[in-house]
């Protein structure tokens, strides 16, 4: 994730000001990343459920994202509790 952190952060900031394309790109990138993250921790069915739950959590908390903080903190904070 660290390699994509700057890109994800840029997409998130663009999405917060209404860029729907940036938001789709962000969700697509996060989906791929989270599938890999959960595949190492859960069986395939539970992993896909966890991916979707994490994306929903990120979506509902996106307005609280603080650009001064590293973007992975938002993602892994959400993923850890799913």
Say whether pLDDT at 32 is over 90. yes
The whole-number pLDDT of residue 79 equals 85
Question: What 3-state DSSP class applies to 67?
Answer: coil
pTM: 0.86
Q: Report the alpha-carbon distance of residue 38 to residue 21 in Å, rounded.
A: 26
pLDDT in tens, 41-67: 999 999 999 999 999 999 999 999 999
The whole-number pLDDT of residue 81 equals 74
Overall residue count recorded for the chain in this entry: 82
Q: Report the alpha-carbon distance of residue 75 to residue 38 in Å, rounded.
A: 13
> Radius of gyration (Cα) for the chain, nearest Å?
12
The whole-number pLDDT of residue 46 equals 96
Note whether 15 and 29 are within 8 A (CB): no
């Amino acid at each position: 994730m660290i390699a994509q952190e700057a890109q994800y952060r840029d997409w998130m900031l663009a999405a917060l000001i209404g860029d729907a394309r940036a938001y789709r790109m962000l969700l697509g990138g996060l989906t791929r990343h989270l599938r890999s993250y959960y595949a190492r921790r859960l069986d395939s069915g539970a992993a896909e459920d966890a991916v979707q739950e994490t994306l929903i959590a990120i979506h509902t908390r996106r307005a609280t994202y603080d650009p001064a903080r590293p973007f992975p903190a938002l993602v892994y904070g959400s993923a850890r509790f799913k």
